Amino acid sequence: MRVRYILAACVVLFTVCASHAAGAADFPSLRDSADPRLQRLLERGLDRIGLDAAVRRGHLAVALVDVTRLEHPRVASVNGDEMMYAASLPKIGILLAALYDVERGNMTLTPKLRKSLNEMIRVSSNVEATRVMNLVGKRRVNQILASSRFKFYDTATNGGLWVGKEYGPRPAFERDPLHNISHGATVMQVARFYYLLESGQLLRPDLNAEMKSMLSRPAIFHKFVKGLHGRNVEIFRKSGTWRQWHADSAIVETPRGSYILVALAEDPRGGEWLPLIARTLHDSMYPSQLARK
């Protein structure tokens, strides 16, 4: 009887793993999903609002991914692999590391941890970000991000998500090896993060749902949230601001489709650029979806 139960458990495990592997195989790499029409829409939109010069200087990076059909994403980007300082946006890396440890059984998603993660994402609490980072292990966060499973930091693609400093006054403990940045990101790696989440490839289903819930109901009204105000959308996002660096990232769901938008800017006016970028690109993708009065 005991042997029969063990064999049955093995069959179930094999079936689940095979199903997961088959499901993952159904989704393409974003790097293989460039779409010329969406690329033209992105570039023309940025030109129309006068940000083409910022793109040429390398002071603005944007990724736009239509995920209305998850098995056929459409990708456009400018400076997609340009790694930039991203302030609080890389807190999504801490979120992933914590839930990854929950998945592995190294941590338990207690009400206290869930509250910390919600505050870290929705109100961008530096105290909670630092607390969770230390729960996981400061250096271990980057090890998870760079692991073969995730590759959210990859030297082959000029870096990506990196969290090498507590969110507080202490100095950086581990700057990224390519650019010497303490809190960094590339728009393509962040877009990939959201795509893996949206397509169910990031963690197990219940933890993907937890993560998306934590990214919902943003409490800070600026950047993409401000730019899309009045549009009939639901936003799942994480932003960041420090001095002249401005960042935002989101899954945006509309009645007609969904997309991922990520932008990183290095300019004192970046806080004004990002709402304009979100509004312009959204209205270009859905020209007949009028803002509500």
pLDDT tens profile 207-228: 999 999 999 999 999 999 999 9
> How far is 174 from 143, CA to CA, in rounded Å?
11
Range in 4-18, 37-51, 101-115, 244-258 the model is least confident about:
4-18
Helices in the chain by DSSP H: which ranges?
Answer: 2-25, 36-48, 52-57, 91-104, 111-122, 126-136, 138-146, 187-198, 205-215, 223-227, 270-285
- pLDDT tens-digit map of 77-92: 999 999 999 999 999 9
- pLDDT tens-digit map of 47-59: 999 999 999 999 9
Residue 94 pLDDT more than 90? yes
Confidence category of residue 158, pLDDT binned at 50, 70, 90: very high
Question: Which residues, in sequence order, are CB contacts of 59 under 8 Å at separation 6+?
Answer: 265, 266, 267
CATH of domain 28-285: 3.40.710.10
Q: Where are the domains of the chain?
A: 28-285
